[in-house]
Structure 1
Amino acid sequence: MKKVLLLLANGFEAVEASVFTDVIGWNKSDGDGTTELITVGMRKELKCTFNFTITPEMQINEVNVDEFDALAIPGGFEEAGFYEDAYNEIFLNLIKEFDRSGKIIASICVGALPIGKSGVLTNRNATTYNLSNGQRQKQLAEFGANVICDKPIVIDKNIITSYNPSTAFAVAFKLLELLTSPENCTKVKNLMGF
C-alpha cells in the first residue's frame, strides 16, 4: 500500500486538499487499490480558509516519514492564518525529511511556499500562485527557487508545484500516476469523468 501524508496547515484551502483525498480515495476503492491517504496537522482541529473545520487523523509529531511514500501540501490564505502553521519549524522539518528521503512532494498553489522556505527548492525549478502581481512567485524566488512563471505545473525531480487552484486535479492525478502507473491513473480519471 502506498501511503500519502496530506499535510494541512490551519487556513488551508479546502478544494486543494479535497482533490488529494478524492483522487487517492477513488484509486483505493475503484482503481488498483494500492493507495491510502492520512490527514496530518499541527492542531487537533483545523479551520480551512472559508471556516469549515476538520479533525486530522494524526498530529505532526506522530509522523514516521518511513511509513509514507509521498507528501501532499495544499495552499491556503494568509488572512486565515495559513503561514503560521506552514512556516513553523516542525512543518518545515517534515518537508525536509521527505525530500532527504527522495519521496514525492506534491503541492498546489502557495503550498509551494513552505517547501521553498524549508530550503529544499534552492536552485530548483518551481512555481506558485501566479496572480496578485506575482507577489507569491517573488517570495518563492527569495527562497532560492528558479521560478517558472509560464507553466501551470512544474516538476523538478521529486517535487511537484503548481500556480493556482485551477491546477489542483492535475497535480493530484500526477501524484497518482507517479505512485501507481499512467494506465491506472487514466482508469481513475475516466471513472471520475475526466
Structure 2
Amino acid sequence: MKKIAVFLFEGAELFEIASFTDIFGWNNIVGLKEFRDIKVETISYKEEIKCTWGGVLKAEKLVTENNLEEIFSYDALVIPGGFGGANFFKDKENEIFKKLVKHFYENNKIIVAICTAVINLIETREIKNKKVTTYLLDNKRYFNQLKKFDVIPEEKEIIVDENLFTCSGPANALDLSLLILEKMTSKENVEIVKKNMFLK
C-alpha cells in the first residue's frame, strides 16, 4: 500500500485538502484494480485546525516526536496552502514539519506544496536549487519572498522539479492531485478516474 500524508497547518484551505482526498478516494473505488491501494491521511502537529473559510477539521493522525518514524515511511507529503489572516503562517517554524520536509527531501520522495504553502515549505531552508512557484497575485508579494531563499522562483502556475511539485493557486490543487495520481499509477488510470468524476 502506498500512503500520502496531507500536512494540515492552521488556516489551510479545505478545497486544497479535498482535491487530494477526493481524487485518491475515487481512485480506490473506480481506478484500475492494481492501483486501488493508495491511502491519503491528514496529519498535523495539532489535533484539529480551523480552515481558512471556517469549519474545523480534525486530523486523522497527530504527529509527534514519538511517531515521526511512521510518517517517514509515507510515499508523499502534501502541504495545502492557506491565508495569513487565518493564522496559516503562525506555526511555520514547527519542528515536526521541518523534520518531515528534511526527510522527504533528502530521500527524494514526493513533496507537493500548494499556493502559499510554498512559503512554509521554503522557510524550512531544506529545499535548495529547485524551481518553485507560489501565489502570483496580490502584487506578487508571496512570489517575491521566494527570492530570499536558495531556490529558483518561476512565474508559472505549476512547476515540477523532479519530485517537488509547487503551484500558484487553489485551482491548481486539482491538477497536482491528478499529476501525483499519474506518477503513482498510470495515465490510463487517471483517465478512468477523471471520467468517473466527470472531470474534463
What TM bracket, shorter-length normalisation? Answer: over 0.9
SS state at 2:160 partner? strand
2:145 is aligned to 139
Which residue among 154, 158, 161 is the counterpart of 2:159?
Answer: 154
Contact 2:92 2:123 in 1 (8 A): no
2:55 is aligned to 52
| Gap runs ≥5 in structure 2 | none
1:168 is aligned to 173
TM-score normalised per structure 1: 0.94
| Gap runs ≥5 in structure 1 | none
Distance across 2 between alignment mates of 1:78 and 1:142: 19
Question: Which one is further off, 164-173 or 118-127?
Answer: 118-127
| CA positional deviation for 1:85 | 2.4
Counterpart mapping for 1:113-124 below 5 A: 113-124=119-130
SS state at 2:165 partner? strand
Counterpart mapping for 1:93-108 below 5 A: 93-108=99-114
Identity of aligned residues (%): 35
Amino acid at match of 2:91: D
| CA positional deviation for 1:10 | 0.7
| CA positional deviation for 1:152 | 1.1
Aligned residues: 193
More helix, by proportion: 1
| CA positional deviation for 1:22 | 0.4
Which residue among 34, 40, 48 is the counterpart of 2:43?
Answer: 40
**Per-residue CA shift, 1:72-114, capped at 9, x if unaligned?**
1100111111112233232122111111111101121011112
Contact 2:72 2:103 in 1 (8 A): no
TM-score normalised per structure 2: 0.92
| CA positional deviation for 1:71 | 0.7
